[in-house]
Structure 1
């Protein structure tokens, strides 16, 4: 019974330190009905454990606060401002429903110092209140984690996927990567026995069921990082090499849009750029750029762009 009380007391002290509390020996001795020397021995045991198993951390006496705290001496600790920047990105993404958003915010808030937590919560409170997730409203974290494990272990999986028309379709796929683009997470996967070598794209919120089929794959055509450089538009299809002229005000924004972009020629008024992408999803983006972009190659894609532009123009002819 005595050992149980001690274990419970030590765990309680450790938990409080982890949460950023300041531990004062005299107060704790009164609370637990033990002597200050007993509390000191408990703290010494916790200090020894943290020194041995928690790199860069130590239990120290803070003379300003007149109590014991955990001090982190590692250069890799994250600050409140760094957490705030990550949270801003998270809120702007609108990717998670409100339940999962709250869980993530509580988790990241807990890793900053207790003295900064209230200021952090005040900074995000208004945005959190007005947060509007995307319309599907589905929980995603568990699915993203499970898919990540299949990718890491190179396990072939069978997915049931709900198409835009509402119908379910089953696919056996080699999961290659998870990417986030414009509100949605996507699974990039190679369809088993498909005539196409290029990967397909599945919105993770539309994946209904995932099952491992007990086999592994060795598909190595694209490294994960190289694959992600070419999937900006989340459309499947063949790997295409675009060549286009750009005459807009921000060449930097174009280079950021296409991680594979190379400047071929540069003139006073325009720049010729080459970049690789999967599929024809880039057409929608090119149309959105208006006269700032002129697609030169591939010729077939240029012709399709001309056709779409003509159809769009005809809608506004009186």
Structure 2
């Protein structure tokens, strides 16, 4: 192997290990590559200069406790095991990925912690990882989500093959606007091409069988994912509705967390009157589950539809 090749291999190896959260020890690297520690130090200096130039807020620093060099970020603060643990707990609780993708995600996230921390950390999640049960579709999603994300960023018009709930296959030409996660599933939020309606349509990503780029872009305005999520309940599409209801339950905080757009209109002996903006009628599912704690006040057409739902349910149990 030529010297130039050896140097390139060392630098790429060191950079890759730093990116994965490993600590680099000069003595160990010198033994592995059969070079002097001064040579390894020069390699580290080049990696350090490259990262300092290309990545704002990241740097290669010597860790006296670990006796080696590591990549730090967040203003010099390395990712802690506590932060990694929180991320993994959220990912595991989502149940959104099949087992192979979940294992890959866990390995990637765990690699951000130091070696001693990873051991303690793995012990903490071992039982949850063993008993992990993904949602039933079992499809790989990461690559599909990434591909759709690229189309969103470039405003590309796409044709999707999609399987609806009854098993029928459909093809739709859409403007992809956002990908969001809610209640175990990822959703593509999109607008039908040539549709007179501006209201968003939702497609569960695991039901998308194919994505075809049509080689053209759209001029539809950028969709604000965060603003949309504030107004969407259970990923039901539809018109924007100004919901008004009376809450008589014990935990007002839980209501405000469920409806981020909620505004308290008044409080009295009857309860708290709340107004919130929501898309579509998914909110009715939640309202049914609240029993006598919630009374839907308006709008009147939605209140009437809610009455009919309650009557239909009541007839089942008569």
Q: Give the TM-score normalised by structure 2.
A: 0.90
Match of 1:106 in 2: 107
User: In the alignment, does 2:281 pair up with 1:283?
Assistant: no
Match of 2:213 in 1: 212
- 8 Å Cα contact 1:235/1:281 also seen in 2: yes
How many corresponding residue pairs? Answer: 311
Secondary structure of the residue aligned to 1:150 is helix
Secondary structure of the residue aligned to 1:196 is coil
- 8 Å Cα contact 2:178/2:223 also seen in 1: no
Match of 1:309 in 2: 310
Cα distance between partner residues in 1 of 2:115 and 2:33 = 24
Cα distance between partner residues in 1 of 2:167 and 2:297 = 37
Q: What whole-Å deviation, never above 9, does each CA across 1:222-278 have from its counterpart, x for those lacking one?
A: 533322221122112111111110011111111111111111111244111111111
Secondary structure of the residue aligned to 1:112 is coil
Match of 1:60 in 2: 62
Match of 1:23 in 2: 25
Cα distance between partner residues in 2 of 1:61 and 1:176 = 43
Larger gyration radius, structure 1 or structure 2 = 1
What does 1:8-47 correspond to in 2, within 5 Å? Answer: 8-15=9-16, 19-25=21-27, 29-34=30-35, 38-47=36-45
Aligned pair in 2 of structure 1 residues 115, 288: CA closer, same or farther (>3 Å)? same
Q: Which structure 1 residue ranges, 5 or more long, are not aligned?
A: none
- 8 Å Cα contact 1:22/1:69 also seen in 2: yes
How far did 1:23 drift? 2.0
Deviates more, 1:241-250 or 1:150-159: 150-159
What does 1:235-314 correspond to in 2, within 5 Å? Answer: 235-314=236-315
Secondary structure of the residue aligned to 1:303 is helix
CA RMSD of aligned residues (A): 2.2
- 8 Å Cα contact 1:47/1:59 also seen in 2: no
Q: Give the TM-score normalised by structure 1.
A: 0.90
Cα distance between partner residues in 2 of 1:39 and 1:10 = 14
Aligned pair in 2 of structure 1 residues 82, 233: CA closer, same or farther (>3 Å)? same
Cα distance between partner residues in 2 of 1:221 and 1:11 = 38
